[in-house]
Structures are given as C-alpha cells and as structure tokens.
C-alpha cells in the first residue's frame, strides 16, 4: 500500500473523562444504531459513529451485541 | 571473541527498557509520565534521606549517651513547648513539599490535552494477549488483530530475554499520542510496561483507558501484573515503538494478509 494511513481515532469525549471507558464504547455503539434507525441503513453520517465504536469496543463485545440485537435481547436503549 | 566484544559494547550503550538482574533503580523513561515518576522519586528520596539521617542520629545519640552505665538516673522530662511546636510544624512542611509535586504529577496524568491519534486495544487472556488495531476497518470485522504469546525458553535466540520475549509485538508509532484500552476476556490481568510508566488493570467487562506518548523508538518490555492463573509469569508484553512513517507501512503490510483471509 502506498497511501499513508491517516492516524485518526475516536476523540476524547468530555462525557467520559475518567479511566473507565466502558460506557463510552457502549454509548457510541448505541448512537450508531440510533443514527441508522433515524437516517437509514446506508447513511454516511452514521459512518462516524461506526468508526468510533469500532475503535473503542473489543471485537468480541461488538459481535455479542450484534447477536443480541438480532435476537431482540440487546440491553440498551436502541 | 569479536561477537562477544560487540555484544557487550552494544549492551553497555543501550537504554534499560527491560528488567536487569540485580537492578536497583527504575528503568529508563520512555514517556513523559515515567520521567515525571522518576523525578518525583528523586524529590521524595531527598527528604527521605534527610529524615532517615536525622532519626538515626537522634536514635544512636540517645542510645550512646543514655546507656544505664553512663547515666544511672533517668531524666523525667514530660513537656517542652518549643520542641513540640517545631516537631509538628517541620514534618508538616516536609509533607507539603512532598505533596506538591506528587499531586501535580497525579493530576497531569489524567489530563487529556490532545486527542489521541491511535487506539489500540490490549485484551488479556489466559495466558496470552490479543491486540486489536481497529481504527481503519470499514465493517465490523477487525482490520488488525493478533495474539501475542511468550516465546518459550527452548525457542529463544541468542541475545533474547527469557520470559520477556513474545512472537508478535505491539507496534506503535513513536512521538504520537496513543490511547490504549485495556480489558480482559476471562480473569483479571494487568498490562504493565515499566519504562513507559504504565500499569493498568485488565478487568473483564470493563474498558480501562490509558494515554501515553512514547518519546523514543525502542523495544519496551513488561509483564502481567495481576495474578491470573498458572501461567501468570509467562504472559509478557513487548511494545515496539517505530518511527511514525514506518508505522504506516508496518500496519499496511499486516493489513493485507489479514483482509485477504477475512
């Protein structure tokens, strides 16, 4: 690959200033899904939230939540 | 003979970024936080020696001069306003001189001045680590995830450290603000790299964030710092800081085979 990888990631969120970022990851995931529900599945506005939750949340957590959403058992305010 | 000379020459001029046998002091600092910790240690140590010498002197003096053979009649002093005031004020002042740099460092560690450039997730398992670099993927599959196992003693090459080397190191760009998210997939672990001044508990179900800025290129070693079972002593951490421009190519080279498989 010749193009430089741009170094960019989820910014520091003032709502979560402490060491514990569990809620930050969870909130970004929920924001993404609320955004897609409001604006449609392929909206590019929601891509930002997707990048944030993917950067913060471990893959296993995301997989588990995706499964929970499919079965309707997701414990968050989607 | 020549290789031995060269090896010793190299070892004497390289920074200490791993535990050395019989080491007394800290490893060399690779981040501003670690440098702050070392400086605080020097500040406190000064007062510590001051107090130690003073207390030892008083103790030895009392034992020497008030030995029962020298002084058969013990004195009965119970009050002494001046000395009581002095021995209260003086330690309070010393405590203040210690507290000021200590709190300054503590609160500066929490300040996030600049947004991090990269997020790396360090996930502890029994008994290896997984690192995820997911800033670049366009779908829910991770772009770069790999496991990091300790290299067993039989497989070590000449010059490598026992119980410290791993097969896949965490590659990070130097002089870049990093956010490391530490968690665990099973039991509590702890992600520690002494030369970077980092020790962060990996708790299952929790994401702990640490911000570091590695100031120089190099390879930094650390070990798991929370008892996690049988192989707790055999899950080290190795961070390799590379120049920023090399980081891009390192990650892309690893990205290609990854997306090829996925």
Say what the pLDDT of residue B253 is: 72
User: Distance from B49 to chain A by nearest Cα, in Å?
Assistant: 35
Over residues B245-249, the mean pLDDT reads 84
Say what the pLDDT of residue B220 is: 94
> Does the ipTM exceed 0.90?
no
Residues from B contacting A (CB-CB < 8 Å) are 110, 112, 115-119, 121, 123, 132, 134-137, 140-142, 145, 173, 176, 179, 181, 183, 185, 200, 205-210, 244-245, 247-249, 251-253, 255-256
CATH superfamily, region B118-255: Cupredoxins -  blue copper proteins (2.60.40.420)
B contacts of A14 (beta carbons < 8 Å): none
Of all residues in chain B, what percent carry a pLDDT higher than 90?
60
pLDDT at B2 over 80: no
What are the extents of the domains in chain A?
Answer: 21-71
User: Distance from A9 to chain B by nearest Cα, in Å?
Assistant: 5
Give me chain B's average pLDDT, please.
Answer: 87
> Searching chain A, which residue's CA lies closest to the CA of residue B244?
A7
Question: Choosing among B106, B112, B181, B242, which should be mutated to test the A contact, i.e. which has the most A CBs within 10 A?
Answer: B181
Say what the pLDDT of residue B8 is: 60
User: Distance from B234 to chain A by nearest Cα, in Å?
Assistant: 23
pLDDT at A22 over 60: yes
User: Distance from A23 to chain B by nearest Cα, in Å?
Assistant: 9
* pLDDT 10s digits, B90-149: 999 999 999 999 999 999 888 777 888 899 999 999 999 999 988 876 666 667 889 999
CB contact under 8 A, B112 and A12: yes
Say what the pLDDT of residue A43 is: 76
CB contact under 8 A, A9 and B119: yes
pTM: 0.83
**Residue A25: pLDDT band by 50, 70, 90 thresholds?**
very high
pLDDT at B55 over 70: yes
Is residue A46 less than 8 Å (CB to CB) from chain B? Answer: no
Q: Are B227 and B157 in contact (CB under 8 A)?
A: no
Q: Is the peptide bond before B127 cis (omega within 30 degrees of 0)?
A: yes
What are the extents of the domains in chain B?
Answer: 32-71+80-110, 118-255
* pLDDT 10s digits, B173-212: 999 999 999 999 999 999 999 999 999 999 999 999 999 9
User: Distance from A13 to chain B by nearest Cα, in Å?
Assistant: 9
Is residue A22 less than 8 Å (CB to CB) from chain B? Answer: yes
Say what the pLDDT of residue A40 is: 81
Say what the pLDDT of residue B259 is: 44
Nearest to A5 among B115, B183, B248 (CB): B248
CB contact under 8 A, B134 and A55: yes
Of all residues in chain B, what percent carry a pLDDT higher than 70?
88
């Amino acid at each position: 690959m010749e193009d430089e990888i741009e170094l960019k990631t989820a910014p520091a969120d003032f709502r979560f200033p402490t060491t514990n970022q569990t809620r930050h990851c969870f909130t970004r995931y929920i924001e993404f899904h609320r955004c897609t529900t409001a604006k449609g599945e392929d909206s590019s506005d929601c891509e930002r939230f997707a990048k944030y939750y993917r950067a913060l949340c471990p893959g296993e957590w995301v997989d588990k939540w995706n499964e929970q959403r499919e079965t309707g058992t997701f414990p968050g305010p989607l | 003979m020549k290789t031995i000379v060269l090896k010793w020459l190299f070892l004497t001029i390289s920074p200490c970024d791993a535990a050395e046998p019989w080491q007394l002091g800290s490893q060399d600092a690779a981040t501003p936080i670690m440098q702050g910790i070392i400086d605080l240690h020097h500040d406190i140590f000064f007062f510590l020696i001051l107090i130690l010498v003073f207390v030892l002197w008083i103790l030895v003096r009392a034992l020497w001069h008030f030995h029962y053979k020298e002084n058969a009649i013990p004195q009965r002093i119970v009050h002494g306003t001046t000395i009581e005031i002095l021995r209260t004020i003086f330690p309070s002042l010393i405590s203040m001189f210690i507290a000021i740099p200590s709190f300054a460092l503590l609160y500066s560690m929490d300040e996030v001045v600049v947004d991090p450039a990269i997020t790396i997730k360090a996930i502890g398992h029994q008994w290896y680590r997984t690192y995820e670099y997911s800033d670049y993927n366009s779908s829910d599959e991770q772009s770069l995830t790999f496991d990091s196992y300790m290299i067993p003693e039989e497989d070590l090459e000449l010059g490598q450290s026992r119980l410290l080397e791993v097969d896949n190191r965490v590659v990070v760009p130097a002089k870049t603000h990093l956010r490391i998210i530490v968690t665990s997939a099973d039991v509590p672990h702890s992600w520690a790299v002494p030369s970077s001044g980092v020790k962060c508990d990996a708790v299952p179900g929790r994401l702990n964030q640490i911000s570091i800025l590695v100031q120089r290129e190099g390879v930094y070693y650390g070990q798991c710092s929370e008892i996690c079972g049988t192989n707790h002593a055999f899950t080290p951490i190795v961070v390799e800081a590379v120049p920023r421009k090399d980081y891009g190519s390192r990650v892309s080279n690893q990205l290609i085979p990854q997306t090829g498989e996925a």
